[in-house]
Amino acid sequence: MYDMSYAEFTNEQVIKMLEGNRTIDFEYELMNNEEKVITTLDNVECSISFNSEAEIMGTASIRFRETEIRSYYTDLRIRPWFKIQAPDRTWIRHPLGIYIITTPTRQDGGGKVYIDADCYDKSIILQEDKLTDRLLIKAESLYVNEVRNVLMSAGINKTNIDGSELRTSVDLEYEIGTSKLDVINSLLQAINYTPIHFDRMGNAVAKKYIEPDERAAEYGYMTDDNSLILSGANQSNDLYNVPNIVIRYVENPDVENTSLRSEYVNNDASSPLSIQRRGRKIVNVESVDDIADQGTLDAFTRRVAIEMSQVNDNVVLPTALMPHHEYRNCIYLRNDNLGITSKYIEYAWSMKLGIGEKMNHTLKKVMRI
């Protein structure tokens, strides 16, 4: 999760402020396409959401009073700030992302003009920017370097991407018209990384995949006297079509010795998803366009099995607004009313920015396979 330290306040001190009796507020900056602040917006209503299973993960819906500075808003940026008042009565500010305005609508609001707009994080740039010629990536190219090259070709220079020495084993070719988002995520999948996403500062982020069971909880929500959990949590369990055999394979008939195959079989009798417990095989088979090597394919196949197994236990959790959530945080949840005490991965979150509003978290249980 994001480090909440600010000025002389440590991360732990700020978290305690968020968990206690608190005074919060919000601020909204309008920025140009170079991310330089134009002005601060007034009379704002805003909701933001993050869905790690979507191509464009970060979105916002905003309404604000039209400014005198500029009336053409398409492609300008909005940066919301979450503010909490410190014990010394100063304000601690934390950004909640950078969102590009795509569909502004001017509306008459009782003598004043308001702008209603849907906004997206900078993945929209990569989705709309497509290859104008075929892209050839030669064998022995470093995957992460090629990812950075495609990002830079789309004008995205602020990145936070884990290093890797994995190289392409064959020439890779992408057709004209392919979105740069598809190219980047294809390259990242080949080395078992997370998809590209954007953090609260607008940096492009991709990390090595770590199995949920190997991750420590980054934060906890618990039903105690100081609980941030609100009423209305719900838990669902669904075993339908959850595979106990997952197969992924790569075949390149034009190149010798490039046929790779990996198979995960759930034979764990303690697992409700196993062949023994279900009494039958449920098989999921798909091809993979490219993968770095056999070890990466094995890890990727296991990742697919883990993520498909996590649908077995989903929780939707309402809480007070918290500004430090990002991509698939590992959350410890204790909800005495539902009898839950476990680690979960947060797949999505959303919040309406306002005093007394709530944040919704979509969590999937960490399953051992």
Residue 363 belongs to a domain: no
pLDDT above 70: residue 212: yes
List the end-to-end C-alpha distance of the chain, in Å, as a whole number. 25
pLDDT above 70: residue 225: no
Same domain, 72 and 23: yes
Mean pLDDT for the chain overall: 93
Domain harbouring 173, CATH code: 3.55.50.10
Helices 143-153 & 180-190 angle (0-180, nearest 10) = 170
Residue 254 confidence (pLDDT): 56
Average pLDDT over residues 300-329: 93
Residue 320 belongs to a domain: no
Residue 289 belongs to a domain: yes
Residue 72 confidence (pLDDT): 82
Q: How would you label 216-251 residue by residue, b for 16+ Cβ within 10 Å and e otherwise?
A: eebeebeeeeeebbeeebebeeeeeebbbbbbbbbe
Same domain, 153 and 185: yes
Residue 178 belongs to a domain: yes
Backbone phi, psi, residue 128, to 5°: -90, -20
Average pLDDT over residues 247-259: 73
Same domain, 140 and 165: yes
Average pLDDT over residues 229-258: 83
Same domain, 25 and 77: yes
Same domain, 196 and 252: no
Q: pLDDT tens, 335-361?
A: 999 999 999 999 999 999 999 999 999
When pLDDT is cut at 50, 70 and 90, the band that residue 70 belongs to is low
Same domain, 112 and 169: no
Q: What percent of the chain has pLDDT over 70?
A: 97
Point out the domain boundary residue: 72, 93, 121: 121
- For residue 189, the enclosing domain spans 125-206
Q: pLDDT tens, 13-27?
A: 999 999 999 999 999
Same domain, 15 and 87: yes
Q: Give the CB-side neighbour count of residue 366, counting CA atoms within 13 A.
A: 20
Same domain, 183 and 255: no
Residue 337 belongs to a domain: no
Spatial distance between the Cα atoms of 348 and 218, rounded to a whole number of angstroms: 16
When pLDDT is cut at 50, 70 and 90, the band that residue 258 belongs to is low
Q: What tokens appear for 290 in the block?
A: 């490219």
Residue 161 confidence (pLDDT): 98
Same domain, 98 and 59: yes
Residue 274 belongs to a domain: yes
Average pLDDT over residues 202-227: 92
Average pLDDT over residues 157-164: 97
One-letter amino acid at 117 equals A
Residue 272 confidence (pLDDT): 84
pLDDT above 80: residue 38: yes
Residue 71 confidence (pLDDT): 65
One-letter amino acid at 257 equals N
Domain count, the chain: 3
